């Protein structure tokens, strides 16, 4: 079963490096792509 994990924006750089090393050692990379997500907050003007 394949799992997708999106946590980079919620962890520190050090935690990201630890996760990356863990997955490189213990998992098989299926696909790599670059994605960038933007979030917006829309404030209503009264």
Give domain limits for the chain.
1-30
* Structure confidence at residue 20 (pLDDT): 85
Distance of alpha carbon 36 from alpha carbon 17, whole angstroms: 18
pLDDT band for 25, please (50, 70, 90 cuts).
very high
Distance of alpha carbon 5 from alpha carbon 33, whole angstroms: 13
Return the structure tokens found at 45: 């003007």
Per-residue DSSP letter, 44: P
Whether residue 21 has pLDDT greater than 80: yes
Whether residue 35 has pLDDT greater than 80: no
What percent of the chain is predicted at pLDDT more than 90? 11
pLDDT band for 46, please (50, 70, 90 cuts).
low
């Amino acid at each position: 079963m394949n799992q997708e994990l999106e946590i980079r924006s919620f962890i520190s750089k050090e935690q990201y490096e630890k996760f990356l090393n863990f997955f490189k050692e213990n998992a098989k990379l299926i696909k790599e792509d670059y994605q960038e997500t933007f979030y917006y907050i829309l404030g209503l003007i009264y």
